Amino acid sequence: MIKVLRFAAALAFASFTFAAQAQDAVRPVVGTPLQAAQQLIKAGKYRDALAKVREADAAPNKTANENYLIDRMRLAAASGAGDMGTAAKAFEEVNATGKLSASDKLRIIESIAGGYYRAKEYGKAVEWAQRYEKEGGKSAQMETLLIQAQFLSGDTAGVTKELVADIQADEKAGKAPSEDRLKLLLSAAGKQPESAAYLLALDRLVTYYPKKEYWAELIDRVQRKPGFSDRFSLDIYRLMLATGGMRTANDYMEMTQLALQAGYTVEAKNAIDKGFAAGVLGVGPEADRQKRLRDLAIRRADEARAQASTKEADALADQNGTELVNFGFNLALSGQAAKGVKLIEKGIAKGGLKRPEDAELRLGQAMVLAGSSKATGVLRGVSGADGAADLARLWILMGRRKG
């Protein structure tokens, strides 16, 4: 939540210039209670000050200048007392005289908006914050107040519009949108989790603030989409491991087994090693089984390294490109991403692929691992309604991660 605007500037303007304004003729019946009100405001006794303002206002046959001074003092006292209706009315009276400078007008409007916000009259806070902008105000704090007040008043559509514009403006200016703004957009769009605004917020959160909880939500959304294919289960674990989302022993064990089944032996070894390093594996009643799986992963990884040259030659000789794509992706997962990219490209060029979209996904993933600037272009071209295109989008975000 934002820090609520205080009234110091407006109070100072409204009260402490009384002496200067009083150079014009002010009768004691008006001036004496106003001077008393000023002292009470200084002491923080705002309701007592309002009583003195009312005393001055009761004087008969007041001049225009006396009315002006009374309204200024009423504005100060009412603002301090939290009586924003009275403060707003007093401002309108003062503003109507045409004596306010543009800067003074903005300071008072800012103060009234903050007062309404503090009083939890969020609709009024929105009204005055919007008026501040229309008068030419540029305060970032007021912009935040407007968004917060819209959100708290239930105007999620207005909040969403404001926040999307702010985020786009920040990115256009080369700045990272603030995490608080992105989280607020996520909340505002939360009733429509498939909306463009919600996805924008989530995408930008994992891009600029790649915390595991943001990634976990994004990955989970993809996995739960209707039609998501089980053949991408290992891809889900791969992303979870990369973004700190592995939580249980079963996560590490399942990923290790899936990687072994797919022939990604080094990835399998890396996954189970991380489980042991995290203290999740190797303890409890399943410790022996987990150690046996680790031993198997180590043995299979050693065998794969010993057979790598032969398997590469066989894949290159095969008329179908599938084995070359698989071998190249395995290399990319094993720390040889640049070489893996070249072999996957050769496999795609050979053709004969059962699922070309999967091969394009593997190429894009390998390019991200290799740090290639071409990765985004390849991944954007991945199609398919069974999960390939969604995974490609997540790998684009993986390539953009700032941390």
Q: What's the pLDDT band for 265 if we cut at 50, 70, 90?
A: very high
Measure the CA–CA gap between 282 and 120, rounded to whole angstroms: 54
Q: HEC string of 28-85?
A: HHHHHHHHHHHHHHHCCCHHHHHHHHHHHHCCCCCCHHHHHHHHHHHHHHHHHHCCHH
| pLDDT tops 90 at residue 139 | no
Residue predicted with more confidence, 22 or 180: 180
Torsion of CA 273, 275, 276, 278, to 10 degrees: 120
Lowest-pLDDT range, 136-145, 335-344, 355-364, 378-387?
A: 136-145
| pLDDT tops 60 at residue 20 | no
pLDDT for position 128? 94
- Residues 272-311: pLDDT tens digits? 999 999 999 999 999 999 999 999 999 999 999 999 999 9
The angle subtended at Cα 167 by Cα 236 and Cα 212, nearest 5°, is 25
pLDDT for position 191? 65
Where in the sequence of the chain do the CATH 1.25.40 domains occur?
8-152, 227-400
Q: What's the pLDDT band for 27 if we cut at 50, 70, 90?
A: very high
Quick check: 290 and 249 in contact, CB under 8 A?
A: yes
pLDDT for position 23? 52
The mean pLDDT value for 173-202 works out to 86
Q: What is the CATH number of domain 8-152?
A: 1.25.40
Q: Please, what is the end-to-end C-alpha distance for the chain in angstroms?
A: 25
The mean pLDDT value for 364-373 works out to 96
Q: What's the pLDDT band for 158 if we cut at 50, 70, 90?
A: confident
pLDDT for position 77? 93
Q: What's the pLDDT band for 24 if we cut at 50, 70, 90?
A: low
pLDDT for position 13? 47
| pLDDT tops 90 at residue 15 | no
| pLDDT tops 90 at residue 14 | no
Quick check: 322 and 334 in contact, CB under 8 A?
A: no
Q: What's the pLDDT band for 18 if we cut at 50, 70, 90?
A: low
- Residues 54-103: pLDDT tens digits? 999 999 999 999 999 999 999 999 988 989 999 999 999 999 999 888 99
Global pTM reads 0.74
pLDDT for position 189? 84
What's 227-400's CATH class?
mainly alpha
| pLDDT tops 70 at residue 155 | yes
| pLDDT tops 50 at residue 12 | no
| pLDDT tops 80 at residue 201 | yes
- Residues 216-262: pLDDT tens digits? 999 999 999 999 999 999 999 999 999 999 999 999 999 999 999 99
Measure the CA–CA gap between 91 and 73, rounded to whole angstroms: 10
Share the mean pLDDT of the chain: 90
Quick one: how many helices (H) and strands (E) in the chain? 22, 0
Q: What's the pLDDT band for 21 if we cut at 50, 70, 90?
A: low
